[in-house]
Homo-oligomer: A and B are copies of this chain.
């Protein structure tokens, strides 16, 4: 798998919203400015994140976006998989794959599974509360560039 720009923006937007978790909604424009993303593209990303249940929105004059749940309940792995797809390096070890002649005899499969597990062990054990904490630790003249 590969983290695309879309995935990158999604993670940054969520971290941004996690940092402002207690402060209510942020507008797309504000988020875009803070994380340096193209506004119209970020629109789509946020829409997707809403469909995924990661954020919620309010329209109108004082509208905007905010996290839909506690930052501690959102892991990196959840977001990556939702936006950019499976973390597997190759389709043959993804769930419900049935296109291989004889997968059980394949000496590569075992390797791809190991890599998948190693990656999952990392991204599934980091949540946005931890990230916010790390951001705050970095306050050496912190100017908010994620």
Contacts and interface: CB of A to CB of B under 8 A. Distances in A.
Contact of A115 (B114, B119, B131, B134): B119
A126 B138 contact: no
B107 A138 contact: yes
Contacts of A119: 89, 115, 118-119
Interface in A115-139: 115, 118-119, 121-123, 126, 131, 134-135, 138
Q: How many copies does the complex hold?
A: 2
Contact of A138 (B15, B105, B111, B143): B105
A108 interface: yes
Interface of A: 1-3, 8, 11-12, 15, 36, 76, 89-90, 101-102, 105-108, 111-112, 114-115, 118-119, 121-123, 126, 131, 134-135, 138, 142-143, 145-146
